[in-house]
Amino acid sequence: MYSIALLQSMVFMLQILCKPSLAILESCLMSMLRNQNPCFPLWPGVLIFWIIILLILVCINTMLIVLILGEIMMRVMIINGT
């Protein structure tokens, strides 16, 4: 019972953390499709490609952190016998 609630809270936390990054990523992709200019409008010298790579890495890191924290919490619950 506790593990299901823990898993649900982890998924919810992951959605909250990744949603803004995914929205920015979608905005970058749409901007890149609309314009022939490969630079991001806010940072003229930075290519959109590098911003997309950075956002993907941020999402992956966030997912890994949440999974590691969930694993630690589950092990603590097993040790405590709850």
Residue given tokens 């019972």 in the structure block:
1
The residues, any chain, with a CB within 8 Å of residue 21's CB and separated by 6 or more, are 55, 58, 59, 62
Give backbone dihedrals phi and psi of 37, rounded to 5 degrees, phi first: -75, 120
Chain-centroid distance of CA 56 in Å reads 7
Per-domain residue ranges of the chain: 45-82
Q: What is the pLDDT of residue 39?
A: 57
pLDDT one-digit tens code per residue, 26-78: 777 777 677 666 555 555 666 767 777 877 787 788 778 878 887 887 788 77
1: pLDDT strictly greater than 60: no
Mean pLDDT of 4-22: 70
Residue 3 binned pLDDT confidence (cut-offs 50, 70, 90): low
Mean pLDDT of 8-16: 70
Phi/psi region, residue 81 (left: phi>0; alpha: psi -120 to 50; beta: rest), is: left
Residues in the chain: 82
